[in-house]
Structure 1
Amino acid sequence: MAYFIQPKLKIAPGDRYERLVVTEVIPRHVKCLCDCGTEHTVHRSDWGKKVKSCGCLRRESVTTHGMSDSPTYSTWESMIQRCTNPRCKDYADYGGRGITVCQRWRTFENFLADMGVKPEGRSIDRIDNDGSYEPGNCRWATLSEQNSNQRRQARQVLSVINPSAADGGYR
């Protein structure tokens, strides 16, 4: 069996990889200064590979809006789940009947820019109940506004055709 021995990587102070700049090379490690100002030590074998920052890059990519615990974010997340996840309990009433979320609103920041922060006591409402979640078809509505903007249930339609069907045929 043949082994491939990787040549020793030459690393010198001032070398840069992504957000890290080498300040000192010590046995098995490289001391760096991150662009955010944090000092960070990287194992020599990781230099120029998987470590790109002191960790600030990951934190920035995870938290871009700082609203992940807000009612607005929770509403957005629920909207996405109802329309895209067949395992969601409400999928049949939304994604299962063709209700979608527009491409622009697949990103929370765009949804927030278009709808604004969720007012207290209101929830998202589609003006056209057969339309998708998109600008121009959504609003923040009160419970009474939502109740007057519901699609007709099959039970209500049956009661028009056969009044006794609404209560299961029992009188």
Structure 2
Amino acid sequence: MAKFLDMTGEKYGRLTVLGVSKKVQSGKRKRYYWDCICDCGNSIEVRTDGLTQGMTKSCGCLKIEQDKSNLIANHSHKLSHTKLWDTYYGMIGRCYNLNDDRYADWGGRGIGVCDEWKNDFSAFVTWSYDNGYSEEKTIDRIDNNHNYEPDNCRWTDFKTQSRNRRSNVLLEHNGKFITIMELSEILNIPYKTAYSRYRKLGVKRSDFNK
């Protein structure tokens, strides 16, 4: 019979062994399971051979990080013609390409892209995946007078971004200036209907909700 080896205090990969969790009889053998704490703070129960043979090195966080790293390293070049790719190069173009039709409203106003993103597409990809990117969302600058950079950008839906456009028309309602989108929600009418009525009535919103 193999001698019991106390692994308490030992470290395997990112896991530190806290002590025996349980022992299970398997035929003539006893299999020990160990309570472990991962460097990230999560707890996990691992069988002896999972630790000693290197099959389990973390609570699972290591694999997630490796998968993300592999995705970026191995597939960044495959992202051409995807939404992330088009968003990135559209952002670069309107900020730095004098021939871009949109340059006047971005680069022409002094809007740029932070060095972290401008010099490394994969950095932009990583930030996007970590900050709610999905095919249904678009990138939005929180302050339209500042650059494209992590602290000033977010992935948002159309409704949120439409509220943040520099070209937004503001209407006075109950003493406050609000966007057409916000007014459509207050009046419980479709945005297109509200916009159509604005075009007919202008900023004078008497009878706007009729």
Query: What's the CA shift for 1:114?
Result: 1.2
1:76 aligns with 2:88: yes
Aligned twin of 2:138:
123
Match 1:148 to one of 150, 160, 163 = 163
After superposition, what is the alpha-carbon deviation per residue over 1:48-94, rounded to whole angstroms, capped at 9, x for unaligned?
xxxxxxxxxxxxxxx85321121111100100000000100000010
> Residue 75 of structure 1: SS of its match in structure 2?
helix
1:112 aligns with 2:125: yes
After superposition, what is the alpha-carbon deviation per residue over 1:110-156, rounded to whole angstroms, capped at 9, x for unaligned?
10111228412211100111110001111111111011111256x86
Query: Distance between the aligned counterparts of 1:118 and 1:82, measured in 2?
Result: 21
Report the residue type matching 1:99 in the other structure: I
- The RMSD of aligned alpha carbons is 2.6
> Residue 140 of structure 1: SS of its match in structure 2?
strand
Match 2:100 to one of 85, 88, 92 = 88
8 Å Cα contact 1:85-1:91 kept in structure 2: yes
Aligned twin of 2:151:
136
The list of structure 1 runs, each at least 4 consecutive aligned residues, that deviate by more than 4 angstroms after superposition, is: none
More helix by share: 2
Gaps in structure 2 of 5+ consecutive residues: 1-74, 172-176, 178-201, 203-210
Aligned twin of 2:33:
none
> Residue 78 of structure 2: SS of its match in structure 1?
coil
Report which structure shows greater RCO (CA 8 Å, sep ≥6).
Answer: 1
Equivalent residue pairs, number = 97
8 Å Cα contact 1:118-1:140 kept in structure 2: yes
More strand by share: 2
Query: Distance between the aligned counterparts of 1:88 and 1:133, measured in 2?
Result: 17
The change in CA–CA distance for 1:114 and 1:64 in structure 2 (over 3 A counts) is closer
Identity, in percent, stands at 40
Report the residue type matching 2:160 in the other structure: E
Query: Distance between the aligned counterparts of 1:139 and 1:74, measured in 2?
Result: 16
Q: TM-score, normalised by structure 1?
A: 0.51
